[in-house]
């Protein structure tokens, strides 16, 4: 970075492919331990990583008198001023649930618009910071950009208040940021899966203003199929491999029946140490495994 050069700071050590954290390729790398964020230039723990202090000595930061929020700009059009001649990417299956071992987030990877698969390897689970991932559903551009804004706001909150935002607070922040756009064609349906000082936490935020907390959510066009599989086998005291297998199984069944879901399944696991990408599995061999009478494996 230019600033680094001027201050004569050494460049971050070379992870073999020192990509920036939000470069999708970096997230496809497998393995890595939970304390380092994959692809973030090096094995140093995330600069944006605050070790969680479990309930000891936490004091709510004193309320500072703040200048009132500026009134939202009134030039946000309620409808697009012009009809656009193209469709935007939609259609998905994402799911997330809490269990005794943390929070699992899984999603398919098909990004489609108007019947054409724009991208068979899209990233629908986006890390926001070291202990929070968000699944995205709705218009992919909206989700991607708003998650970026959310990462920035979480970081600013942490710098100003010296404690990281809880997942509940992050959900509220996202919901408040989207509220000026209510009634427009913006479509963001995200679940925020994270671990904060209150433990594992899961919130659902939709751009119409809905904000819910829960144990289990599935969002997207394939969610009815995923819910049916999840509701049958979900228990809070599952083991970790069982949880992985359940998530993959649910996404597989949803992609099998929903035309707008498909591709691979991305699996993320959030624990006290942070998030970890478990893997991206192509679902085509899984279909043949199941046809042969096998079960979807979890490891």
Partner 1 sequence: MLSAATYGENGKMKEYHYSGPVEHRFSPYTFNGGTVLAVAGEDFAIVASDTRLSEGYSIHSRDSPKCYKLTDRTVIGCSGFHGDCLTLTKIIDARLKMYKHSNNKTMTSGAIAAMLSTILYSRRFFPYYVYNIIGGLDEEGRGAVYSFDPVGSYQRDTYKAGGSASAMLQPLLDNQIGFKNMENVEHLPLSQEKAVQLVKDVFISAAERDVYTGDALRICIVTKDGIKEETVPLRKD
**163 versus 286: smaller Cβ distance to partner 1:** 286
d(CA 109, CA 120): 6
Q: Which of 7, 63, 71, 82 binds partner 1 (CB under 8 A)?
A: 82
Of 244, 265, 243, the closest CA to residue 253 belongs to 265
Residues 184 and 76: beta-carbon distance below 8 Å: yes
Nearest distance from C-beta of residue 207 to partner 1, angstroms: 12
Enumerate long-range contacts of 153-160, CB under 8 Å, 24 or more apart: 153/177, 154/128, 154/129, 155/48, 155/129, 158/48, 158/50
> Dihedral, CA atoms, 29, 30, 32, 37, nearest 10 degrees?
40
> Dihedral, CA atoms, 127, 131, 135, 139, nearest 10 degrees?
-50
Q: Which of 7, 71, 84, 159 binds partner 1 (CB under 8 A)?
A: 84
Assess 281 for contact with partner 1 (CB under 8 A). Answer: no
Q: Crossing angle of helices 284-291/240-257, nearest 10°?
A: 100
Nearest distance from C-beta of residue 173 to partner 1, angstroms: 19
Assess 292 for contact with partner 1 (CB under 8 A). Answer: no
* Span near partner 1 by CB under 8 A; candidates 74-82, 98-106, 198-206, 291-299: 74-82
Assess 85 for contact with partner 1 (CB under 8 A). Answer: yes
Assess 266 for contact with partner 1 (CB under 8 A). Answer: no
Q: Give me the sign of the Cα torsion angle 44, 298, 128, 16.
A: positive
d(CA 76, CA 2): 35
Nearest distance from C-beta of residue 124 to partner 1, angstroms: 11
Assess 259 for contact with partner 1 (CB under 8 A). Answer: no
Please say if 135 is a catalytic residue.
Answer: no
> Dihedral, CA atoms, 136, 101, 173, 123, nearest 10 degrees?
-20
Q: Which of 153, 185, 242, 289 binds partner 1 (CB under 8 A)?
A: 185
Nearest distance from C-beta of residue 114 to partner 1, angstroms: 6
Residues 12-71 binding partner 1 (CB under 8 A) are: 17-20, 22-25
**113 versus 240: smaller Cβ distance to partner 1:** 113
Assess 76 for contact with partner 1 (CB under 8 A). Answer: yes
Assess 80 for contact with partner 1 (CB under 8 A). Answer: yes
d(CA 202, CA 275): 14
For residue 265, give the 3-state DSSP assignment: strand
- Enumerate the active-site residues: 92
- Interface residue list for partner 1 (CB under 8 A): 2, 5, 17-20, 22-25, 76-77, 80-86, 88-89, 111, 113-116, 118-119, 121-123, 139-142, 144-145, 184-186
């Amino acid at each position: 970075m230019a600033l680094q050069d001027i201050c004569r700071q050494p460049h971050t050590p070379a992870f073999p492919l020192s990509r920036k954290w939000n470069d999708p390729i970096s997230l496809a790398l497998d393995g890595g331990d939970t304390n380092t964020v994959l692809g973030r230039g090096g094995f140093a723990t995330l600069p944006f990583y605050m070790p969680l202090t479990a309930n000891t000595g936490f004091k709510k930061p004193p309320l500072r008198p703040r200048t009132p929020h500026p009134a939202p700009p009134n030039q946000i059009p309620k409808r697009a001023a012009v009809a656009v001649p193209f469709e935007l990417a939609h259609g998905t299956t994402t799911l997330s649930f809490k269990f005794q071992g943390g929070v699992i987030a899984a999603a398919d990877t098909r990004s489609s618009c108007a019947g054409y698969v724009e991208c068979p390897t899209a990233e629908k689970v986006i890390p926001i910071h070291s202990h929070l991932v968000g699944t995205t559903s709705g218009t992919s551009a909206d989700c991607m950009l708003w998650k970026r804004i959310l990462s920035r706001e979480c970081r600013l909150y942490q710098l100003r208040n010296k404690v990281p935002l809880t997942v509940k607070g992050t959900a509220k922040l996202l919901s408040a940021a989207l509220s000026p756009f209510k009634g427009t064609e913006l479509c963001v349906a995200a679940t925020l899966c994270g671990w904060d000082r209150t433990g594992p936490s899961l919130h659902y935020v939709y751009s119409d203003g809905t904000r819910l907390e829960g144990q289990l959510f599935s969002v997207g066009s394939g969610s009815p199929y995923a819910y049916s599989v999840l509701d049958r086998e979900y228990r809070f005291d599952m083991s970790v491999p069982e949880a992985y297998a359940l998530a993959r199984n649910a996404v597989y069944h949803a992609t099998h029946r929903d035309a707008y879901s498909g591709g691979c399944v991305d699996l993320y696991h959030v624990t006290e140490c942070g998030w970890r990408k478990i893997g991206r599995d192509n679902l085509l061999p899984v279909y043949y495994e199941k046809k042969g009478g096998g079960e979807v494996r979890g490891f």
